[in-house]
Amino acid sequence: MVAKNYTTEVLVVGGGPGGYVAAIRSAQLGKTVTLVDKGRVGGVCLNRGCIPSKALISAAESLKTIDQLSDLGIDVGKPSIDFPRMMEWKDGVVKKLINGVSTLLKRNKINVINGEAFFHGPNTVQVITENNSRLYHFKDCIIATGSSPTELPSLPFDGHQIISSTEALELKEIPEKLLVIGGGYIGLELGTAYRKLGSKVTILEGTDSLLPSVDQTLVRVVKRNLKKLGIKIVTKAMVQGCEDANGTVTVTAEVKGEKLTYTADKVLVAVGRTPNTKNLNLEQAGITTDERGFIPVNDQMRTSNDHIYAVGDITGGALLAHKASYEGKIAAEVIAGEPSSVDFKTMPFVIFSDPEIAYAGLSKNEAEEKGYELIISKVPFQANGRALSMREPEGFVQVIAEKQSKKILGIQIVGPEASTMISEAVLAIEMGISVIDISSVIHPHPTLPESLMEAADNILGNAVHVVK
């Protein structure tokens, strides 16, 4: 097959939250743009990650809410689950958003090609589609191919019983027993959702705690709730292998020096993600990667080839959709000649556990390591009227400030709607304001963000609803 030749100013490889945002921003800045993706636009986040998982989590939380309605004097009887219909609803949410992204790309006059891209030189990519092969010559290129679930050699994915998060979001029925390998945010979120739907869930984590990179004062609140839900947590568990028999999988793990076995219908392996860079022929474009396959970039998202940029998961660091979108905008603006560069001063992190965890800025340990003298305020949601009226009083808001200046260094939240509340925290830290500023801003009552104001007041000695 002879490849046809095409030219484009900006070629974007990958249509996820990094790629499609980079493509649209490039088009806004007057560039002719071609976007290549071998799947549906939206990437992992929209198709197999953020959106479908949060839809499933939301559905499972609704079931939990129904179970607790009798506390409010509302009796509805025992609910039943039509799981195929639930998954159909989840797929409908995904489809609606995919159509939205496709419409945005079309209206911004971006040429979208469904195919797989391989570099053929420093400014050339071969795109193989279902029907033909094309060579695209570009002036600038943005790589945004994302990441895939990491496979354990002792537990290779089979797509049926040993599954990744992708298959976990496409199950046909609720497993009776679900074994989760990995106590990071993916395993925790999906394990909690399936427990609420009725699965018996066990989580095996290799380190000595769930969410090992997260402030453990936040994690302890979540662990208490996991225990209430009946989720079994096993730490310091190193998986050694598995056996498949009669439709079930038996996993062997060494736990604190003892060899134990765990049997389940499905085994969800959620031990991290691997960058999708292996099959791009990057060496043909003069692009280097590190030992794990991530692409090093500078603060303008440039790779070792000055006309090729990389954004999102393939650049390493925090593998977050909002980070990818932010980097995609930066790359597009740099290509257009604007003086843009990344500034990760305040990156928000959100975990959709029960209750939710969200944090931004420095943790207590990080701030102390940097030599700050600290003043810390922690306000429980039990003192918040809105949290009590929502029947979600677990958790707290914590504000970490520099003692002398009262400048906010970090904010951590574990509790109801932490994912929403963190945006005010991000803005506060990004703008370099002090607790005095938050204390001076009137927060509507009764709302959850009042807890943030109360935490600021507490540092100043002005808190009314908690004792300093």
Q: Find the CATH number of the domain harbouring 54.
A: 3.50.50.60
- Predicted confidence band of residue 344 (pLDDT cuts 50, 70, 90): confident
Asked if residue 190 is part of any domain, the answer here is: yes
Cα 466 to Cα 213: distance, rounded to the nearest angstrom: 30
Residues in the chain: 468
Same domain, 304 and 218: no
Q: Is position 54 annotated in a ligand binding site?
A: yes
Average pLDDT score over residue span 192-220: 96
Is there a binding annotation on residue 186?
Answer: yes
DSSP class of residue 444?
A: P
Instruction: Report if residue 259 sits inside a domain.
Output: yes
Residue 385 is labelled as binding a ligand: no
Place of tokens 């071969």: 126
**What pLDDT, on the 0 to 100 scale, is given for residue 413?**
98
Residue 3's pLDDT is: 62
- Told to judge if 445 belongs to the known catalytic residues of this protein, a careful annotator would answer yes
154 falls within a domain: no
Residues 266 and 282 in one domain: no
Which of 41-50, 130-139, 322-331 has the highest average model confidence (pLDDT)? 322-331
| Alpha carbon separation from 292 to 148, 272, 317 (Å, rounded) | 13, 12, 12
What is the CATH number for 353?
3.30.390.30
Confirm whether residue 191 is marked as ligand binding: no
Residue with tokens 């801003």: 441
pLDDT beyond 70 at 360: yes
Enclosing domain of residue 434: 349-460
Q: Which helix or strand (DSSP H or E) is residue 107 part of? A: helix 83-107
Do 125 and 219 lie in a common domain?
no
Q: Is the pLDDT score of 237 beyond 60?
A: yes
Confidence class for position 467, pLDDT limits 50, 70, 90: confident
Task: Confirm whether 465 is domain-assigned.
Answer: no
89 pLDDT higher than 90:
yes
pTM: 0.95
In degrees to the nearest 10, what's the CA dihedral of 52, 53, 56, 60? -170
Q: In terms of domains, do 401 and 366 share one? A: yes
Q: Does the annotation place 73 within a ligand binding site?
A: no
User: Per-residue DSSP letters for 78-106?
Assistant: -----HHHHHHHHHHHHHHHHHHHHHHHH
* Whether residue 98 is found in the same domain as residue 208: no
Domain count, the chain: 3
283 is in an annotated binding site: no
Would you give the distance in Å from CA 146 to the centre of its chain?
Answer: 12
Residue 15 lies in a domain: yes
In a domain, 61, yes or no: yes
170 and 292 belong to one structural domain? no
Q: Are residues 124 and 178 in the same domain?
A: no
Answer yes or no: is pLDDT of 1 > 70.
no
When the pLDDT of each residue in the chain is averaged and rounded to a whole number, the result is 95
Q: Where does a domain end: 240, 271, 302? A: 271
Question: Catalytic pick from 120, 137, 445, 465?
Answer: 445
Whether residue 140 is found in the same domain as residue 285: yes
Residue 131 confidence (pLDDT): 86
Model confidence band, residue 446 (pLDDT cutoffs 50, 70, 90)? very high
* 142 & 285 share domain: yes
CA-CA distance, 10 to 26, in Å (whole number)? 8
For residues 72-93, average pLDDT: 93
Q: What is the dihedral of CA 186, 189, 195, 197, to 10 degrees?
A: -110
272 belongs to an annotated ligand binding site: yes
Determine phi and psi for 220, rounding to 5 degrees: -60, -35
Separation in Å, CA 310 to CA 137, 328, 343: 17, 8, 16
Same domain, yes or no: 128 and 34: yes
Summarize pLDDT for 397-413 with one digit per residue, the tens.
999 999 999 999 999 99
**CA-to-CA dists, residue 187 to 49, 210, 364, 382, angstroms:** 12, 10, 26, 28
Q: Is the pLDDT of residue 123 over 60?
A: yes
Residues 198 and 253 in one domain: yes
